[in-house]
C-alpha cells in the first residue's frame, strides 16, 4: 500500500490522450499536485491509501478545460453594450468604459470574478490578454489558477502604459522575472492586433520575444474589415505582413483567424502556428465562422477560447466546444466534421499545446499536473447514455461540472467553490457595476 | 383584500408583451391556473391574500418557453448515432432503431423523459411530431404539460399505421375527438415532409385539415438536397408544390425553412405561414443556417424549436434562442441583428403565435394561462447585471431555471421537479438504452 493525497473514482474517465479512449471504473491518483497513476479502481483501492477519497459514481472525469483566449477582467463589462454593430460596440460601449474605469483594482476584481466563473465551469487554465497583466498574474497565483498571462502591447496611452516602449518594457519586466519558474504562471507578449504597432515596434517585440523565449499572441484575421484595411494601408494581408516581420512561427498564437486563404493555412501549418478559435464571439460580433475542419485537416492545431465576457457573454469552454463542433459541421457542409471527441481535444490538450503547456496540462496522464474536471451526467438532459463523449460535448452544461482540481487543489467540490468567498466577490462586482453604469448612456 | 392562489414575487419580470419591457419589483397573481394580475409588489401585498407566496429575489420571471418543434420520444435515442453524415445517421442510426423499437410504451417513456427535461429547462409548451401521437397527448395530460400534438402522416408502414389512409384516419380521430376542448392539448396534422405523400394524399390532407380546422406542420426546405430532389422529381421547389396544393396558408408551420428565396419568403409573409427555426439541429446535421433576420424583416413570424434529441442533443430553448440570436448576426453580417429581446420573443410569444396559441400562452398578460418560468440570475456567469434581457439570452443556462408553472401548477420548485419521480423515470430510460444499444452496431 502506497500513500497518495487524493484518489478520484469517477464512473468514467476520458483522458483525451490516447485519443477517443473512455475508461469505465478507473481511478486517478494524485500526489503533490500531480497525476501519478491512472488504473482500474479495484486495483487502485488495493494499491493506494489516499488521504482523501472522492467518489463520483455518475460522473465523467476529464482534463481541466483550457480557455485559450480571454480578457478576464471584462467580466465586469458583461452585457454592458450588447446587440450593437462592432464599431459602435467598441467606440460607444467598451472603449469609453475601459478608458474611464480600467485600473489595477478593476482588473483584480474582474479577474477574480472570471476565475471563479471559469473554475465553476471546469476551466483550469486560461490565457489572458488585458491591461495590468501583473495583477492578472497575482490574482491567478492568489486563487491557485493556472494562467498564461499576456502582456498587452499597443502604441496608445492607457492607464497601464504610455507608449509602445513602456508597454514592452513593463511587459518584459513581467515575463522574465517574477514568474520564470512559477508552476502555475506562464507569460507572453500580446500585441493587440496588426494595427496596434508599427513595423518597427513589431520587429522590436519579436526580437525581445526571441531573446526571452516567450510566445506571442494576437488577434489576427478576426474580421474581413481588418484584412481590407491592412491591404489598403500596406498592400499586404495581415498574415503576410506578420510573416515578413518574422512573427509567423511556432511561438505565435493567432487568435480568431476567421478569414484565411488556403495558402495562409498552409503557411500556418508549416510554421507551427496555433489558432485560438473563439466561435461564440465571432458570431456575436458578426465576424464570421472560422472553417476549423479545414484548418485541422491542414495540420494546424486549433484551441478554443471564450474571448472576453463583453463579447460572449460567458466564460464557458464546455458550451464553446459544442458550438465549435456544430459550426465546423455546417461550415464544412459535413455532419461528420469535428466529432465530439475532436471537440473535447480542442478544449483540453489542443489548448494546452497552443499555450506551450502540453507537458504540464491538457490530458490525464501520469506526470502532468492534476488539472481535472468532473462532469455529472446523471441529470435529465444527459440521459440515457450511449456515448460518453457525445454526452459531454452535445448535452452537458457548465452547471453539470461538479468538481475541479488545479494542480491537485480541490477548487470546486460538489458544485461549490471551496476557496473563494462568492458573496463578497459578487458584492464587489455589483459595486463596479453601479459605478460603471452610472457613467454609461 | 382578494384571495389568489399564488403570488409570485421575482426581482424582475419580463412580460415579453409589451416588447422590451422589464419590470422591477412586480408581482404576478395566479388564480385558477390563469394570470389574473401583474402589478407592483407593494400593491400586490396590500391587495391580495395568496394561498402560496413565492419570493424569488434574485430571479427574472419570464413567460414559459415554447418549443415549437420536437420529436419528444427521441430522447431515448439521444447520442445513439452522432457525428455521422445525414444519410448514414438516418439509414444506419435512427431509422433502424425506430423500426425496431418504436411502440406505444417507448413513446410514453421517451415523451415523459422529454417533458421532465423540458420542464426543468423552463419550457411549458411543446409542439410534437412523432408516432403514437395519442400516447404523446395522454402523457402530456398525465404530466400537466401543454402540447401541440402533431399526428404523423406518411405513406409507408410503421408500427403505428399502415398507409396514408390509416395515418390520416387515425390522425383525424385524434384531432377532432378527445382533446377538442382540452385546456392543455391542441392537435394538428404533421406530414413528415414533401416526400412523405403524393399530391393526391396532400390534397386529401388539406381538405381534412380545413374541415377539422386544425393546423399543419411539416419539415420544409430543411436541406439543399431536399430542394434539389424535388426539382428533379417534379420540376418544382417544395414550397412551390405545397403552394399549388393549397398548403401554403396561415395554418402552416414550416419547420426548418433553412433555404428560401426572397420570393418564397415574401409568399410566406403574405400567406401568414409561421416558421419553426431549429438552429442547433440545422448545424449538427450540416443543413445550413436559416437567415432569420431576413425572414423577420419580411414579416414572417419565427418560432424556435429544438428538434429531436437525436439531432441536437438537448431540449433546451434557452440555449437555442441564444444560438438563434448569434447565428442571425453572423448570417446577416450585422451584430445588431436579432437582439436579446427579439430572441426572447421568438422563444415565447413567437412560438405561441406559431402554434395558434397566442391567446393562451407566450406572454405574461392577465387572462392567459399561468405558463411561467423563473431564472436565477445570481450565479457567477450572469453577474454583474446591466441588462436583464442580455443576461437571460446571452448568459443564462437551463440549469439556472429555478421554477416553472404550467397553467398555474408549480411543476419545478426551486430546481426540483415537484410531480415527477425522476429516479424511476431514469431507470426506465436506462432499460430502453440497454435494449436499444444491444441491437445497434
Domain boundaries, chain A: 2-63+370-407, 65-354
Q: Which of B77, B289, B381 to mutate to test the interface with A (most CBs of A within 10 A)?
A: B381
Per-residue pLDDT at A177: 74
What are the distances in angstroms from CA A52 to CA A28, A42, A84, A336? 12, 16, 50, 42
Task: Check if the beta carbon of residue B102 is closer than 8 Å to that of residue B158.
Answer: yes
> How large is the ipTM?
0.97
**Residues of B with Cβ-Cβ distance to A112 under 8 angstroms:** none
- CA-nearest residue to A325 within chain B is B284
Select from B119, B26, B124 the least CA-distant residue to B363: B124
pLDDT at B181: 87
Residues 301-330, chain A: which have Cβ within 8 Å of B?
Answer: 312-316, 319, 323, 325-327, 329-330
CB contact under 8 A, A286 and B314: no
Query: Residue A89: what pLDDT?
Result: 85
CATH topology of domain B65-354: TIM Barrel (3.20.20)
- Nearest CB partner across the interface for A384, out of B340, B391, B429: B429
Q: Which of residues 17-36 of B touch A (CB under 8 A)?
A: none
Closest Cα in chain A to B286? A330
Average pLDDT over residues A117-121: 98
Determine the residue of chain B that is closest to A440 in CA distance.
Answer: B386
All residues of chain A having their beta carbon less than 8 Å from the beta carbon of residue B400 are 399
In chain B, positions 169-188, which contact chain A (CB-CB < 8 Å)?
none
> At a CB cut-off of 8 Å and minimum separation 6, what does B39 contact?
B26, B27, B29, B47
Query: According to the model, what pLDDT value does residue B441 have?
Result: 57
Pairing of strands B146-153, B185-191: parallel
Residue A20 has pLDDT above 60, yes or no: yes
What is the CATH architecture of B2-63+371-407?
Roll (2.30)
Among candidates B120, B330, B391 on the partner chain, residue whose Cβ is nearest the Cβ of A79: B391
Just give the CATH number of A2-63+370-407: 2.30.40.10
Nearest to B284 among A121, A288, A326 (CB): A326
Residue of chain A whose Cα is closest to the Cα of B420: A380
Do A86 and B335 lie within an 8 Å CB cutoff? yes
Residues from chain A that touch B397, judged by Cβ atoms under 8 A, are 316, 319, 397-399
- Asked if residue A441 has pLDDT above 60, the reply is no
Low-confidence ranges of chain B (pLDDT < 50): none
pLDDT at A27: 98
Question: CB of B29 within 8 A of CB of B7?
Answer: yes
Kindly provide the residue ranges of all beta strands, DSSP E only, lying in A192-326, ordered along the sequence. 216-220, 252-256, 274-277, 302-304
> Cα–Cα distance between B436 and B365 in angstroms, integer?
45
Average pLDDT, chain A: 96
Question: What average pLDDT score do residues A434-439 get?
Answer: 92
Name residue, grid cell 444527459: A382
- Going by DSSP bridges, is the β-strand pair A123-129/A65-70 parallel, antiparallel, or unpaired? parallel
Minimum Cα–Cα distance from B258: chain A residue = A330
| pLDDT number for residue A232 | 97
Distance between CA atoms of residues A315 and A320, nearest Å = 9
> Is A398's CB within 8 Å of B381's CB?
yes
Mean pLDDT of A39-62: 98
Q: Do B335 and A83 touch (CB under 8 A)?
A: yes
Q: What percent of chain B has pLDDT over 90?
A: 93
CB contact under 8 A, B335 and A422: no
Average pLDDT (A271-291) is 97
pLDDT over 70, % of chain A: 100
Helical (H) or strand (E) element with A329: helix A317-332
Q: Is the pLDDT of residue A230 over 90?
A: yes
Compute chain A's Rg from CA coordinates. Answer: 21
Rounded to a whole number of angstroms, the distance from the CA of A264 to the nearest CA of chain B is: 23
Q: CB distance from A438 to chain B under 8 Å?
A: no
Average pLDDT on A164-172 reads 94
Same fold, A2-63+370-407 and A65-354: no
Q: A426 and B380: CB-CB below 8 Å?
A: yes
Q: Which residue in chain B has the smallest CA separation from A310?
A: B394
**Residues B89-96: contacts with CB within 8 Å, 24+ apart?**
B89/A335, B89/B285, B89/B311, B93/B310, B93/B440, B94/B310, B96/B440
According to the model, what pLDDT value does residue A176 have? 74
> How high is the pLDDT of residue B169?
94
The pLDDT value given to residue A203 = 97
Looking at the DSSP bridge assignments, the partners of residue B316 are none
pTM: 0.97
Q: Among residues 386-405 of chain A, which lie with CB inside 8 Å of chain B? A: 386-387, 390-391, 394-395, 397-400
Determine the Cα angle at A40 with ends A39 and A41, to 5°: 110
For testing the chain B interface, which of A93, A335, A416, A433 should be mutated: the one with the most B CBs within 10 Å?
A335
From the list B314, B337, B316, the residue with the least C-alpha distance to B325 is: B337
What is the nearest CA distance from A64 to chain B, expressed in angstroms? 18
Strand-pairing partners, residue B186, are B148
Residue B386 has a CB neighbour count (10 Å cut-off) of 17
pLDDT at residue A353 greater than cutoff 80: yes
Q: Which of B79, B94, B289 to mutate to test the interface with A (most CBs of A within 10 A)?
A: B79
Q: Is B114 on the interface with A (CB under 8 A)?
A: no
Q: How far is A263 from chain B (nearest CA, A)?
A: 25
Higher-confidence position of A175 and A134:
A134
Q: Is the CB of A47 inside 8 Å of chain B's CB atoms?
A: no
Amino acid at each position: 500500500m502506497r500513500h497518495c493525497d487524493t484518489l478520484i473514482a469517477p464512473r468514467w474517465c476520458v483522458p483525451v490522450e490516447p485519443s477517443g479512449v473512455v475508461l469505465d471504473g478507473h481511478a486517478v491518483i494524485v500526489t503533490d499536485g500531480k497525476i501519478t497513476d491512472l488504473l482500474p479502481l479495484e486495483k487502485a483501492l488495493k494499491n493506494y491509501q489516499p488521504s482523501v477519497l472522492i467518489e463520483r459514481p455518475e460522473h465523467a472525469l476529464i482534463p481541466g478545460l483550457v480557455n485559450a483566449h480571454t480578457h478576464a477582467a471584462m467580466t465586469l463589462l458583461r452585457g454592458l453594450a450588447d446587440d450593437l454593430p462592432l464599431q459602435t460596440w467598441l467606440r460607444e460601449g467598451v472603449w469609453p468604459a475601459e478608458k474611464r474605469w480600467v485600473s489595477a483594482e478593476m482588473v483584480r476584481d474582474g479577474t477574480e470574478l472570471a476565475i471563479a466563473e471559469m473554475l465553476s465551469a471546469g476551466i483550469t487554465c486560461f490565457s489572458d490578454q488585458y491591461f495590468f497583466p501583473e495583477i492578472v498574474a497575482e490574482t491567478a497565483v492568489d486563487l491557485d489558477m493556472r494562467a498564461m498571462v499576456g502582456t498587452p502591447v499597443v502604441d496608445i496611452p492607457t492607464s497601464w502604459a504610455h507608449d509602445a516602449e513602456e508597454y514592452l518594457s513593463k511587459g518584459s519586466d513581467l515575463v522574465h522575472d517574477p514568474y520564470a519558474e512559477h508552476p502555475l504562471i506562464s507569460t507572453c507578449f500580446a500585441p493587440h492586433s496588426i494595427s496596434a504597432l508599427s513595423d518597427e515596434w513589431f520587429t522590436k517585440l519579436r526580437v525581445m520575444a526571441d531573446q526571452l523565449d516567450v510566445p506571442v499572441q494576437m488577434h489576427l484575421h478576426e474580421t474581413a474589415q481588418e484584412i481590407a484595411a491592412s491591404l489598403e494601408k500596406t498592400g499586404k494581408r495581415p498574415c503576410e505582413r506578420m510573416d515578413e516581420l518574422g512573427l509567423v512561427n511556432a511561438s505565435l498564437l493567432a487568435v480568431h483567424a476567421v478569414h484565411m486563404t488556403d495558402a495562409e493555412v498552409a503557411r500556418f501549418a508549416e510554421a507551427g502556428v496555433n489558432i485560438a478559435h473563439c466561435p461564440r464571439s465571432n458570431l456575436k460580433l458578426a465576424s464570421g465562422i472560422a472553417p476549423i475542419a479545414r484548418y485541422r485537416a491542414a495540420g494546424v492545431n486549433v484551441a478554443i477560447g471564450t474571448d472576453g465576457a463583453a463579447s460572449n457573454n460567458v466564460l464557458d469552454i464546455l458550451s464553446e466546444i459544442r458550438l465549435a463542433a456544430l459550426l465546423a459541421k455546417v461550415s464544412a457542409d459535413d455532419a461528420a466534421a469535428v466529432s465530439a471527441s475532436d471537440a473535447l481535444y480542442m478544449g483540453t490538450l489542443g489548448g494546452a499545446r497552443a499555450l506551450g503547456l502540453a507537458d504540464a496540462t491538457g490530458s490525464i496522464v501520469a506526470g502532468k499536473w492534476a488539472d481535472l474536471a468532473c462532469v455529472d451526467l446523471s441529470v435529465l438532459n444527459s440521459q440515457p447514455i450511449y456515448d460518453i463523449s457525445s454526452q459531454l460535448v452535445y448535452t452537458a452544461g457548465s452547471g453539470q461540472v461538479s468538481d475541479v482540481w488545479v494542480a491537485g487543489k480541490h477548487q470546486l467540490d460538489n458544485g461549490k467553490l471551496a476557496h473563494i468567498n462568492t458573496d463578497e466577490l459578487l458584492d464587489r462586482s455589483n459595486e463596479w457595476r453601479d459605478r460603471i453604469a452610472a457613467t454609461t448612456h
